[in-house]
Amino acid sequence: MYLPSVFLFQFYLLSSLLLLHLLCKLKTHPEFIIWLTLIMLTDALVAIPFAQLRLQKKALQFALAKIINVVVLSDSITIF
């Protein structure tokens, strides 16, 4: 179920040094690419439970979980 997201995460993590080399301005901050990868992985991993909640027509639970997800991801972007 989460296998494509895990593979995508590994691809991003392994290719982060290549991306870092290509993006000259970020050479001194490789943690930016790693944080971006972790945030994208988190977003991809929560997509499946959200889809399941929508399928089960649990609108209130879906809305609350989605709001919490947006707050957590936007806070992590702001903090890091």
**What tens digit of pLDDT does each residue of 21-34 get?**
666 665 667 777 77
Q: Where are the domains of the chain?
A: 3-79
Structure tokens at 78: 């702001």
Distances (CA, A) of 43 to 2, 58, 68, 73, 74: 12, 20, 12, 8, 11
pLDDT score at 80 = 62
Query: What phi and psi values does residue 57 have, to the nearest 5 degrees?
Result: 60, 45
65 contacts 18 by C-beta, under 8 angstroms: no
pTM summary value: 0.48
pLDDT score at 41 = 82
CA 43 remoteness from chain centre: 4
